[in-house]
Amino acid sequence: MAICVAKALDKQKGLDIQILRIEELTILADYFIIASGSATTQVRAMADEVEKTLEESGVRLGHREGFDAGGWVLLDYGSVVVHIFLPATRDFYSLDRLWEDADRIELPE
């Protein structure tokens, strides 16, 4: 599912997509997917694409936060949590650095 999410983000031209395997570091989730969009409209389009793609695969969204503001959208699918940021917001919260001990999964071509 994490790869499917990353591909959906890439389809919408997401920037700096990171798949972090965090299952051995926390009970929050198995994977965090972190990506950036260049504008709030792109961040929302990326979130919509993830929701559409997973819904078509029969995966239901548990919770969504931040869609209206668009600076940081969080999509919670239980074992996979998706964070889509504007670049400045991503830099400020620095989840990439916070979870630097996580294994990075390469996005397939």
Q: For the domain that residue 80 is a member of, what is the CATH number?
A: 3.30.460.10
Backbone angles phi, psi at 46, to 5 degrees: -65, -45
pLDDT tens per residue across span 38-73: 999 999 999 999 999 999 999 999 999 999 887 999
Angle at 87 (CA atoms; ends 75, 92), nearest 5 degrees: 85
Rounded to whole angstroms, how far apart are CA atoms 37 and 86? 5
Structurally, the chain folds into a number of domains equal to 1
The whole-model pTM stands at 0.93
Look up residue 109 and give its two tokens. 């071509």
Domain that holds residue 18: 2-105
| Per-residue model confidence as pLDDT tens digits over 75-104 | 999 999 999 999 999 999 999 899 999 999
